[in-house]
Structure 1
């Protein structure tokens, strides 16, 4: 599978370990670039948002960028879109965490409230029916508010390394749909 877009991998809280599909995609596609945040454990929203913008705008053609966010990165992307209104190719938003839920880990208080406005680019929200960090109902609310297509992949937990997705070929198919 070939991609024409510049794909930026954006992990969530704690980053994505070596068995996470985001890391496996980076191994499979060396041209994909990971956005490294300064602090993965106690994130500061403004730092994450500003750094994401810096990385996107450093690309030769920001309009050819696809963001691949997981968990807290989805909220980061929503804040980034609200602040900067950049016109990129699209975003794949996987397992968008509900930072407003009481079950969400501490340390992310700066990521509330979750922006609920249309994103200025095409996007796909991928959710599961048994994600411990977001209910399917909330993920559906996010997708509607952001103007995203919602893809429910069934019981896949937080769609991370514990979900045993490996290289997650079905996710790559969704990513390819944004690369038009």
Structure 2
């Protein structure tokens, strides 16, 4: 089986050095999709960057998204004609961009695309995420056709959550990739 290209899709403001995505980039050599503007994310611009990265990959792609990156996966999938290059998506702690406070901070991302993803997907979310209730993240997983993993208490599953290299997350990703 071909080793996939793992594309890291950070959320708003990027992933800081203590974030598990940054650790995975350093430890496993996963490739971060660099966005043009991390502070004022535009859905069209972010989708175009993801499209460029997917098209440039020579191997099948695995999307590893955090927060706004999860919403990006759904938005990109709705418009791309290259979703067949994606083997799976690993979606962690989606942000609820339909919530009024977040919609004001990050305009242009609501409504969240809620159609089934055309590839296997696993969503991991904590039940105490300040940016998305467990009910909302479960609803997104259901609408996207993603399996759901309840991470218990862990906040936004970011650098502040103290996950370090997040070995449990990497094992969940490896398990997802073993599925066919």
- What is the TM-score with the length of structure 2 in the denominator? 0.94
Aligned-partner Cα distance in 1 for 2:115–2:128: 25
CA contact (8 A) 1:43 1:107 kept: no
Deviating above 6 A after TM superposition, structure 1's stretches of 4 or more consecutive aligned residues are none
Q: Give the conservation status (yes or no) of the 8 Å contact 1:69–1:94.
A: yes
Please give the alpha-carbon distance, in whole angstroms, between the structure 1 residues aligned to 2:18 and 2:34: 17
Q: State the 1:141 CA deviation.
A: 0.2
- Equivalent residue for 2:61? 65
Match runs of 1:88-107 below 5 Å: 88-104=86-102, 106-107=104-105
Structure-to-structure mapping, 1:140-155, within 5 angstroms: 140-155=138-153
Tell me the distance in 2 between the aligned counterparts of 1:58 and 1:4.
15
In 2, are the aligned partners of 1:5 and 1:179 still within 8 Å (CA)? no
Query: Which runs of 5 or more structure 2 residues have no equivalent in the other structure?
Result: none
Consecutive unaligned residues of structure 1, counting only runs of 5 or more, are none
Mapped contact 1:13–1:43 kept (Cα < 8 A): yes
Q: How big is the alpha-carbon RMSD for the aligned residues of Structure 1 and Structure 2?
A: 1.3
1:97 Cα deviation from its structure 2 partner: 0.5
* SS of equivalent residue, structure 2 residue 99: coil
Instruction: Determine the C-alpha separation between the residues in 2 that align with 1:172 and 1:52.
Output: 22
- Give me the TM-score of the superposition, normalised by structure 1: 0.94
**Aligned runs of 1:13-162 on 2, under 5 Å?**
13-30=12-29, 32-61=30-59, 64-85=60-81, 86-87=83-84, 88-104=86-102, 106-162=104-160
How far apart, CA to CA, are the structure 2 residues paired with 1:55 and 1:45?
15
Give the whole-Å Cα distance in 2 for the aligned partners of 1:51 and 1:150.
27
